[in-house]
Amino acid sequence: MKKVIVAIAALFVAGNVLAQDDTGKKSDTVVVGNFTIIKKNKPGSDTSDFEISKRKKKHVVSTNWGVFDLGFANLRDQTVYGSADANSYMLGGAQPFTKADMKLRTTKSSNVNIWVMQKLNVTKNVFNLKYGIGLEMYNFRYSTNISYRENPVRIVRDTVQFSKNKLYTAYISVPFMVNFNLTPKREKGLSFSAGVSAGYRIGSRNKQESQQRGKQKIKGDFDLEQWRVAYIADLGLGPIRVYGSYSVTPLHERGLKQYPYAVGIRFSNW
CATH architecture of 61-267: Beta Barrel (2.40)
Q: Is 206 left (phi over 0), alpha (psi -120 to 50) or beta?
A: beta
What is the predicted pLDDT for the residue at 12?
46
Does 94 have pLDDT greater than 90? no
pLDDT digits (tens, 9 = 90+) for 123-145: 999 999 999 999 999 999 999 99
Please tell me what DSSP assigns to residue 99. G
Q: What 3-state DSSP class applies to 85? A: helix
Residue 55 in contact with residue 62, Cβ under 8 Å?
Answer: no
Answer whether 95's CB lies under 8 Å from 248's CB.
Answer: no
Mean of per-residue pLDDT scores for the chain: 86
Looking only at the bridges linking them, the beta strands covering 127-141 and 146-149 are unpaired
pTM score of the predicted model:
0.78
Does the pLDDT at position 169 exceed 90?
A: yes
How far does the chain reach from its first CA to its final CA, in angstroms?
Answer: 38
3-state percent breakdown (helix, strand, coil) of the chain, nearest 5: 10, 55, 35
Residues 50-71: what's their mean pLDDT? 80
CATH 2.40.160, the chain: domain bounds: 61-267
Quick one: average pLDDT of 245-261?
97
pLDDT at 238: 86
Res 106 pLDDT > 90: yes
| pLDDT at residue 188, as a whole number | 81
Using CB atoms within 10 Å of the CB of residue 241, give its burial: 0 to 12 exposed, 13 to 18 middle, 19+ buried: buried
Residue 270's pLDDT is 84
Residue 243 in contact with residue 264, Cβ under 8 Å? yes
| Contact criterion met (CB below 8 Å) for 248 and 227 | no
